[in-house]
Structure 1
Amino acid sequence: MKGAIDAWAQPANGRARQLLPEVARLFEKSGSAHLLDQPLSIEQTVELMDQAGVEKLMLAAWCRPERWVFSNDEIAAYTRAYPERFVGVATVDLSRPMAALAELERAVGELGCKALRIVPWLWKLPPNHRLYYPLYAKCVELGIPFCTQVGHTGPLMPSDTGRPVPYLDEVALDFPELRIVAGHIGHPWTDEMIGLAWKHDNIYIDTSAYLPAYYPPQLLHFMRTYGQDKVLFGSNFPQLPFDKCMRQVQALELPEPVRDKFLHGNARRVFGL
């Protein structure tokens, strides 16, 4: 079996509690609060991937209003050190529209990033807000997917920005050329998310932030049947450990062709890897 491609992860640099205090409660509830303060080197991250059978990590930058959490250049340090193991996912400062476009071009053209991710709850702006639209057009121009978060927020922030309908539905209608990867399943609006992935050829779901043992039954049915080309594996590392996720994927006993698409085939196609 080929190794997995993890569609959603962040660096474990020990600064998350300081720079993203909202996520502390999510890590505590997930039993991984110690990783908020425990920095892992690039080499240590690769070692954990090797132990779990994770081939590639889609590693994302984070920007929040008024400050960067993980910069695109920090992500590029990982991809330069291990270009076969890490894939850069850029982000931008949504509040500075022209600078955001320039930074996205730089991140893709100079740093080699393969996608853009913006987490709506950080900005309290749903993805159909006007500030996103120039970035969607730029993603289409650059040939990269747009990644975002759907569902309620584990962090103590308002959840409305994560509703699939109407927000992502409107974006997909306006930009049918844009590949959209919606992370975190969409709970408690999982049925809405599945409906959008069925409706729109350009919408995909990744399972990050949820252990496979807790995937909703309707998502598993979708993965096994008419949605087997539409769902990507994700961990949200370091919130969830690679090895625990991978053991639980095996326990799902998915048919081999379905499992292979879920773990790596769909991500390879969607992200052009």
Structure 2
Amino acid sequence: MKIIDFHYHPLSPLVDFLPQPMGLLRKRNPEWVKRFANIPSARDILSFLDEEEIDYAVLLAERIPTVTGIISNEYVASLCKGEPRLIPFCSINPALDIHMDVMLEKLVKEGFKGIKLWPSYQHFYPNQQNLYPLYATAQKLGIPILYHIGTSVFEGTKLKYCDPIYLDEVAVDFPKLNIVMAHAGRGFWYDKAFTLASLHKNIFLEISGLPPSKLLEYFPRLGRIGSKIIFGSDYPDVTSIKKNVDYIKTLPLEPSVIEAILGLNADKLLKIFA
């Protein structure tokens, strides 16, 4: 069984992060802060993934300077270069970037395999018309868009922007665009997120940041859409990726569903195993 972590934050160098998120990380995962106090190399990350028994990880750039800081596209690209187990996702900020479609084409040519957008951090509604050229380009290039859809404790977050309902319009207008909801509507949008993933062939639920022990409480019918659920850890906001994976393996679901959640569904979008 191949394991893909669809939501891994490299989160270094530490100097790029603002005091509030850095304080939360020191409290929640002091071992990570100690281990990666210096800028980690790709080898450091791969060694950690080996310890956690993770085969592949999606490394996320973060172009959100007013909330957590900036993990640049260039930094993520440098970590992933020549390392097929590390899959780079770029970040584009609608408040800062113009000609986002052109920017995305350039980034994909440089090797990025997807894009992460942060509506509640970057303060935009996902169905804004100025984003449509970006979506058309992502659809043409065949890359997924990962959206932060759920609550957050970081200062500056405005939750109104990440209500899942805005993705309904995007899914209809771009039927071949693969849309992934990170955090699966965490907080008070679980039912909406589940409904959208059930209705739309191109919407997926990514479960990063959710305790595996709560998954069937949040989504009692999870097994019915097992082909739409994608594993992500949200590391380093969890202390052990392996523990989460091991718990998911114990859920009362068909073995084929568990295998799909932990790797095969992500591979549909990333095409790693082909």
Give the TM-score taking structure 2 as reference length. 0.87
Describe the shift of the 1:249–1:25 C-alpha distance in structure 2 as closer, same or farther (beyond 3 A).
Answer: farther
Maintained 8 Å contact 1:91/1:118? yes
2:32 matched residue in structure 1: 35
Q: Which residue is equivalent to 1:197?
A: 197
Residue 11 of structure 2 aligns to a residue whose secondary structure is: coil
Q: Check the 8 A contact 1:152/1:160 in 2, yes or no.
A: no
Answering whether residue 81 of structure 2 is matched by residue 80 of structure 1, we say yes
CA 1:154–1:248: 2 relative to 1, 3 Å: farther
User: What are the superposed Cα offsets for residues 222-267 of structure 1, whole Å, 9 maximum, x if unpaired?
Assistant: 332x201100000111112322322322332532111100000000
Percent of matched pairs sharing the same residue: 27
Match of 1:229 in 2: 227
Q: 1:5 — aligned with what?
A: 4
- Partner of residue 114, structure 2: 115
Q: Deviations over 1:109-160 (max 9, x none)?
A: 12x1111111111211121123322211110111111110112223242211
Aligned position for 2:21: 23
CA drift of 1:101 comes to 2.5
Q: Work out the number of aligned pairs and report it.
A: 265
Match of 1:131 in 2: 130
Normalising by structure 1, we get a TM-score of: 0.87
- 2:92 is aligned to 92
Structure 1 unmatched runs, 5+: none
Aligned CA RMSD, in angstroms, stands at: 2.3
Please report how far the alpha carbon of residue 99 of structure 1 lies from its aligned counterpart in structure 2 after TM superposition.
4.1
> Which stretches of structure 1, 4 residues or longer, exceed 4 Å deviation after superposition?
65-68
Report the AA paired with residue 32 of structure 2.
Answer: L
Q: Partner residue of 2:209? A: 209
Task: Say if 1:23 and 1:127 are closer, same or farther in 2 by CA, change over 3 A.
Answer: farther
Q: Match for 1:56: what amino acid?
A: Y
- Offset from partner CA, 1:152-209 (integer Å, 9 cap, x none): 22324221112112x1112112221211001002021101000000111110010011
Which residues of structure 2 form unaligned runs of 5+?
none
* Distance change (3 Å), C-alpha of 1:134 and 1:81: same
How far does residue 82 in structure 1 lie from its aligned partner after superposition?
A: 1.6
Aligned partners of 2:106 and 2:90: how far apart in 1?
10
